[in-house]
Amino acid sequence: MKIQISLFILLLTGLVTIAGNTAFADDGIDKSLSKAMLLEPLAVNINTASAEEMAESLKGIGIKTAQAVVAYRNDKGFFKSPESITAVKGIGDFTFEVNKDAIMVE
């Protein structure tokens, strides 16, 4: 019986330690990204914006995809419509739908 109680206390102490460390770890996480995902995307002109501006303004588009948009624009010319951004590899219909009200071409 003493062994069972000791094992229970040891297990309980370990669980409390793990839970405490997890709670402290969450405090160090930058919550700005999760807050940004709740906000509406910011309007951006994909014919003039830099990769950094697009990555900051559009939901689901990181710096690599934004750089691909700029490379596509430099290679093929200005986008004719907001929908034409889906021709860029990495931007599908879902990403466009999330951002369609924020994507401008003029």
In this prediction, residues 29-55 reach a mean pLDDT of 75
Give the Cα separation of 24 and 45 in Å (integer).
40
Given this model, what pLDDT does residue 29 score?
Answer: 43
Structural domain boundaries in the chain: 2-29, 34-104
Residue 58 sits at the vertex; the CA angle it makes with 62 and 89, to the nearest 5 degrees, is: 55
Contact 52, 63 (CB under 8 A): yes
3-state SS assignment for residue 50: coil
Residue 84 binned pLDDT confidence (cut-offs 50, 70, 90): very high
Q: State which CATH number among 3.20.20.80, 1.10.150.280, 1.10.3720.10, 3.30.70.250 fits the domain covering 34-104.
A: 1.10.150.280
Angle at 15 between CA 10 and CA 18, to 5 degrees: 125
pTM comes to: 0.63
- 6-26 confidence digits (pLDDT tens): 767 766 676 566 655 544 444
Q: What is the rounded CA–CA span in Å between residue 103 and residue 101?
A: 6
